[in-house]
Amino acid sequence: MSKVYLVASGKGGTGKTMFSVNLGASYAQKGYRVVVVDMDMGLRNLDLYLGLENNVVFDVYDVVTGVCPIRQALIRDRRIDGLYMIGSSPERDKGDLTPLHIQVLCEKLKEQFDYIIIDSPSGIDDGLVLASAGADAAIIVTTPEYAALRDADAVDRELVRLGVKKRYLVLNKLIAEMMNSGYIPRLRVISSIMRAKLIGIIQFDMNINISTNLGQPIVLKKGTYIQQNFENICDRLIEEEGR
């Protein structure tokens, strides 16, 4: 059964889009058909992170407003079988879009794909309301800082209000030495702040920054601990789906 995951964050800079790209690539490497949809219509970056910025002709706005069919907006990543994206345009006014538009889009995408990953805008404004409309579950990406955790908790509460019952937490940019020294919140403190279930941890690594600048998902490099982090997250999500 197809699944729609909303990837959200309380503030910019947590690695939300990086996570969306690499989660989608990880699922595709497991043999699933995956599409990652850029719903951050104000600050699109998904195409850059995949290195597909020159391939975007039609975007998600064109699809939901009937300018083009879904197949014309789908961009295939030829490095990974089964991975596609739909880009976004920062120049469009999304004011005439409704949650129903996005819900219908997700239902149509479910007919073609095993996983639909929605890269939502940061924060709790109308963009989150739109992006979450077709979501079966949400993954909140945050960093181990009190300000980021407070914002992530605000997003979690808003998702509850919007009716997204399953919500997971991913802790990104973790520096173990800082946590062990008490300079950043420990896992038990984070778990006491957040109600969403912790599904994975991604350690800070400069190679992630390099990969996003090059437009290459870091999970393309097999055998690294980061690639294993993402594979573990996929496996845990698949296990959660069976419950």
Report pLDDT digits (tens) over 20-71: 999 999 999 999 999 999 998 777 889 999 999 999 999 999 999 899 999 9
* Residue 158 near residue 26 (C-beta atoms within 8 A): no
Whole-structure pTM over 0.75, yes or no? yes
pLDDT of residue 95: 62
pLDDT of residue 46: 93
Q: How far is CA 165 from CA 6, 137, 168, in A?
A: 12, 7, 10
Residue 4 has pLDDT above 70, yes or no: yes
Mean pLDDT over residues 149-174, rounded? 96
Q: How far is CA 199 from CA 183, 191, 229, in A?
A: 23, 11, 10
The count of C-alpha atoms lying within 13 angstroms of the C-alpha of 26, restricted to the half-sphere facing its C-beta, is 24
94 pLDDT tier (thresholds 50, 70, 90) = low
Residue 112 has pLDDT above 70, yes or no: yes
**What is the residue extent of each domain of the chain?**
3-238
Report pLDDT digits (tens) over 182-236: 999 999 999 899 999 999 999 999 999 999 999 999 999 988 999 999 999 999 9
pLDDT of residue 93: 60
Topology at the third CATH level for domain 3-238: Rossmann fold (3.40.50)
pLDDT of residue 41: 79
Report pLDDT digits (tens) over 125-139: 899 999 999 999 999
Alpha helix stretches (DSSP H) within the chain:
16-29, 46-49, 60-64, 70-73, 99-110, 126-131, 146-161, 176-180, 187-193, 206-214, 225-241
81 DSSP 8-state letter: T
Q: How far apart are CA 236 and CA 198, in angstroms?
A: 10
95 DSSP 8-state letter: G
pLDDT of residue 91: 63
pLDDT of residue 92: 59
